[in-house]
Amino acid sequence: MKTIVIATKNENKIIEIRAIAGNLDFNFKCSKDFPAIGEIEEDGETLKDNAIKKAKLTALGTGLWAFADDTGLEVDYLNGAPGVFSARYAGEGCSYADNNAKLLNALKGVPLHLRKAAFKCVIALSSPKGDITTVEGILPGMITETPRGTKGFGYDPIFMVDGTDKTMAELSSEEKNNLSHRGKVIRKIVPFLPRPFGASGKL
């Protein structure tokens, strides 16, 4: 069974990725299984830059195939912010609740029709030699005025998915994985996974 390293220590991302890709015949490991790699600073100017850096350094450091995602929430009214800074929007070491509170405060008094937003996710897949493939997924929606729901993580409680009346935090895991930006990019990356698994696996 081929091993692929998920280049993250974020437990929520690991759970989501394994749930979406669980029917593929891979042994999925993650960054915490390889402590020698250490922390990889996400200092790129774009989501793509960060995803490529994490995937490549993880693959070269382990000698295994690796993929990394970088995800950002882009709010139209805020000219695309928080974007690449989504994870640390409220400052280094901030919590999900801190980020949500800052975003809601930035949109205080803004009517619902002007609160359009989109989750953007980029996955970079790296071969053990550092050859890179990238794919992108986008999920449109809008920012609610108050948090709703108890599932998910990050901005999920304040992001209402287009075509539904639910926030991401109100969706079941199955519903979220079918709709989400991360689900979309994982399905897109399948054909590029090391053969024969990528050729035969289906999501």
pLDDT at position 152, please?
Answer: 84
The residue behind tokens 């809601």 is 104
Instruction: Name residue 19's beta-bridge partners.
Output: none
Distance (Å, whole) CA 51 – CA 63: 18
Cβ-in-10-Å burial (0-12, 13-18, 19+) of 83 comes to middle
| Cα dihedral 92, 94, 98, 103 in deg (nearest 10) | 30
> Between helices 181-189 and 11-21, what is the axis angle to 10°?
50
- Under 8 Å between Cβ of 72 and 86: yes
What is the torsional sign of CA 183, 81, 75, 160?
positive
**Segment 32-69, tens digit of pLDDT:** 889 888 889 889 999 999 999 999 999 999 999 998 98
Asked if the model's pLDDT at residue 148 lies above 70, the reply is yes
Distance (Å, whole) CA 1 – CA 73: 35
pLDDT at position 195, please?
Answer: 63
- For residue 93, what are the contacts with CB-CB under 8 A and spacing of at least 6? none
Asked if the model's pLDDT at residue 185 lies above 80, the reply is yes
pTM for the complete prediction? 0.83
Token pair in block for residue 155: 């901005």
200 confidence band (pLDDT: 50, 70, 90): very low
Instruction: Reply yes or no on whether 70 is catalytic.
Output: yes
Backbone angles phi, psi at 128, to 5 degrees: -60, -20
Which sequence spans correspond to the domains of the chain?
A: 2-200
1 confidence band (pLDDT: 50, 70, 90): low
Q: Which whole number is the average pLDDT over 151-165?
A: 93
- Under 8 Å between Cβ of 7 and 40: yes
pLDDT at position 60, please?
Answer: 96
pLDDT-above-90 percentage for the chain: 59
CATH number of 2-200, picked from 3.90.950.10, 3.40.50.300, 3.30.200.100, 3.40.50.1480: 3.90.950.10
- Pick the catalytic residue: 33, 49, 70, 131? 70
